[in-house]
Every structure is written in C-alpha cells, then in structure tokens.
Structure 1
C-alpha cells in the first residue's frame, strides 16, 4: 500500500489508493482488512481511511463490518454483462447514425481525441487516457443530438469504473485500447455505416469479454453461458 503524500484532498487520495489496491489485487475480495493497519501503512490517521471506505461502500466496492474492518466485495460478472449489453444496444446504432452524419468538425474532434489517447498511452497516463477515451465515445454519441443518450451511456461507464473493473495492464495495454478505436475512426471518416457499427460493436464486446474473463478468474468461477449470451445477443 503506497503512502499518502501531502494532505490536500486527503479523503480523495485515500480513496484512490484503496481503489488502486483493489484493482491490482493487493486488496483481495473476501478477505477481512483492518482500518488501523491500512492507516499505518499509509502513515495517516484512521479517520480519513474510514471516510474513504464509507464512500467506497456506497459504490459497492467494499463492505464495512462493524468493529472488525472491511472486505472487498467480489465483482459480479452478471452485472458487468448487463452493463455491456446495454452499451452495445445503445452505442452500436448510435455509431451507425454518426457515420451517416459525420462532418469535418466531428471528424477533426475525434482525430484529436484519438491522438491524445495515443499520447497518453505513450506516457502510460491512464487517467488522462481514459478522459480522452470517454470524450471520443461522447462525441460519437452526441453527434445524433440526443443528450439523454450520452448521459445514459456515461452512467453505464461510471458503473464499471466505480466497481474498479479495468482491463488496463491486465489483459491489454493502453496502446491496445487506442488501436481498437482506429477502425471506428476510419469507418466514420469514410461514412461507412456498417463498418462503423461493427467496429464499435467489436471494441465494446471485446472489452466486455476481457472483463468477464478477469472477474471469472478473480472469483474462481467459469464465465456462464448466460453472461456470454447477453453480449452476443446485443450484436446485430
């Protein structure tokens, strides 16, 4: 567990350290952890650790056990499958629509975001990368003029981020993720609706499959046919 540097936004720093430890497996699902021990490792008082844990408990990442400590909650494969099922149902047709109406302004904006993703990948800056990744998808979704659609998909992405599910440096690199966006960009630039929709479907479905495999290994249970079918059923 890394130490906290400085006291600015202490609770946020602690939450980020704990979330990172959960994502990397340093804090493992099901095991009981002591608040005081974590505070000692980070060289801070217990109060900010408790407050950070309360926030993570609200998001479903941990469960606090009174007078005992806390446990990391096992990620639910079904929940992940359902979120990506929804993303496929919404983002694939939205990408088809974007290809139909993509003009120079949208294409330039998408190229900028993809270039920024590549630069962040080179610097191995995951936070910056994901900011531009998210913006790329928002531009595609927003091209149809439906703000509710963009907000809804943003909420679905937040759901996955909140539970600490990520493929970065586990089953693919930031550069790999950037590369998956290139066929989407190419198809949009050529106004090829079918290719754009398929490229987005492939990207989102691949992310879902990788996450399901990771969570399956983490929980030591196989990926169920029902979860796999949810992803396949959302494909055109």
Structure 2
C-alpha cells in the first residue's frame, strides 16, 4: 500500500490582484521578485502551508493584523527622470529606498503623515515587503518612525533638533578639515573641484533631492582625505539626518529655494579656492560659516 508522503506544494505564480496591480503601475517597472517564498508571503501562505501571520511573516493577513491600511492616505506623485521610471536597478529594495529618499527630499512624503507599506507598494507597483524593508532602513536613519499597527510616520524636525545636528556636524568636521588644511598639498584639494562644481550644477537646477546627493558627495570627498572610514560613516549619517525629510527653509535639509542652494554651493567653491591657495585664515572662516549655516 502506498504510504502518503508529505504534500509537495507547487510554486504559485502571482495572484490575479497582484498581476492587475503590476499592469496598472505603468509609471514604474520594477524587476520581478523571483523568490517563491516572497510570492507565497504576499498570498498569505507560509512555508509550511499555513497562514503567514501565524509564523510572524508578512502578507495580507499579517498586514491586517498590524492595521496597515491602504486607504485614507494622501497620495504623492511618483518621481520620474527624463520621462523614464526612476526605479531601474536590479535590487528592488535598493530602488524603493532611493525612490523614498527622493520623495522625502522633494516633500512628496509629508512630515507627520503615516504611510503603510501596502499602500506605498501599490503606488510603486511592487509588493509590501521591499517597501517595508526600505522604510525600516529609513527608520534607522531617523527619517521615519515606526507606528505600531499602522505603518511609518515621517518625522518632523524642529529648529532645535536641526541646530543640534548642525552643531554636532561642526564639532566633528571642522577640526578634521582644518587639520587637513595644514597638512595636505594644494593639488589634493584641487582634485575635489569636480565635486564642488557638481553641487553648483545641482543647485542651479533647483532640485532639492539632486542637491542633497551632490552636497553629501562633496562633504564625503573632503572627509575622505582623512582616510577614516568610521568618520565617513558617522558624518554621512548626520548629514542625511539634516537633509531627510524635507524641512522648509532649511538649506542643510535641502529645503531651501534655488537661491539658497546656490549660495550654499558657492561656499564649497570658495572653500576649495582658499584651501588650494593655502589661505588658512580664509579657509577657517569659510568652514565655520558653512557649518554655522548647517550647509
């Protein structure tokens, strides 16, 4: 008599609602997620065939248990670049993280508002899993905070918090830059001119998200001359906290207008000119002014 062995569950394809959602999200084309387990989780099926929520996994059942609703949220426009979807790289999570950062920098995700992973997933045309993972990374960076049973709230940064962040950045970076100013030859500083010019181009475009990336690249280039990777990591985290989410009227938070952004970028070029000329007094004044403005 043939003994009944464990039932082998066939790999399931996307459900009809998922397929319809992907087809309707014409603004984004995210590479398919090939893992069968991911598909099963979105269908509420755990690896052992039981409900995903019982195993603490994700899926519609678990989302409902956490209260991650997909309604009553203010929609935001999906960013596009040159008429093409922003999301194009192989890593879905990485693409969504970049898109969410751009939305934060551009003000499309509103401070104080709560957004659920399933709702954002529908807008991006992907499952809730990579959105949730990207939001958790943003929570680590301090841009959002987890709201149990609801989703993620975009943080509000007050004037005092921004001033404190600017002070910490100055305490960390000004001594390093001035030490380098006394030791590095002019040609090493001249190598950073393309990065400074990149901030000027980004500022002239008026795109706050683009300026934020260029600004961070310039400061990473300067601090990179110290050869301290821990310094780079800490400084970059502090810099990102001052930029995300968008804070209206704050240049360091990429919230200033085009004029303010161009003035901030001009300080980069002026600082490099002083460092190349070995004018330490001017360099000291410029770097203190720059960080005093939280640039």
TM-score, structure 2 as length reference: 0.56
Tell me, yes or no, if structure 1 residue 193 matches structure 2 residue 275: no
Larger Rg: 2
Q: What's the CA shift for 1:201?
A: 0.9
Tell me, yes or no, if structure 1 residue 157 matches structure 2 residue 246: no
The equivalences for 1:79-228 within 5 A come to 79-118=161-200, 125-126=210-211, 129-130=214-215, 132-138=217-223, 142=226, 147-148=227-228, 151-152=230-231, 154-162=233-241, 164-165=244-245, 167=251, 170-173=255-258, 175-207=262-294
Supply the distance in 1 between the matched residues of 2:282 and 2:26 (Cα, whole angstroms): 45
Identify the match of residue 67 of structure 1 among 129, 149, 155: 149
Q: Secondary structure at the match of 1:74?
A: coil
CA 154–78 in structure 1, closer or farther in 2 if over 3 Å, else same: farther
The structure in which a higher percent of residues are helix is 1
Comparing 7-16 with 154-163, which one deviates more in the overlay?
A: 154-163
Give the number of the structure with larger relative contact order, counting CA–CA contacts within 8 Å between residues 6 or more apart.
Answer: 1
Tell me, yes or no, if structure 1 residue 4 matches structure 2 residue 43: no
Q: What's the CA shift for 1:197?
A: 0.4
Contact 1:36/1:46 (<8 A) preserved: yes
Structure 1: 5+ residue stretches without partners: 209-236
RMSD of aligned alpha carbons: 3.3
Partner in structure 2 of residue 16 of structure 1:
98
CA 44–200 in structure 1, closer or farther in 2 if over 3 Å, else same: same
Comparing 181-190 with 84-93, which one deviates more in the overlay?
A: 84-93
Contact 1:99/1:187 (<8 A) preserved: no
CA 55–86 in structure 1, closer or farther in 2 if over 3 Å, else same: closer
Contact 1:180/1:203 (<8 A) preserved: yes
Contact 1:35/1:49 (<8 A) preserved: yes
CA 92–46 in structure 1, closer or farther in 2 if over 3 Å, else same: closer
1:29-54 Cα distance to aligned partner (Å, 9 max, x none): 22233333222211222222222222
Contact 2:195/2:214 (<8 A) preserved: no
CA 19–97 in structure 1, closer or farther in 2 if over 3 Å, else same: closer
Q: What's the CA shift for 1:117?
A: 4.1
Supply the distance in 1 between the matched residues of 2:218 and 2:189 (Cα, whole angstroms): 15
1:80-126 Cα distance to aligned partner (Å, 9 max, x none): 32232133234334443333334243133233433444455567654
Q: Secondary structure at the match of 2:118?
A: helix
TM-score, structure 1 as length reference: 0.68
Supply the distance in 2 between the matched residues of 1:197 and 1:63 (Cα, whole angstroms): 37
Contact 1:93/1:197 (<8 A) preserved: no
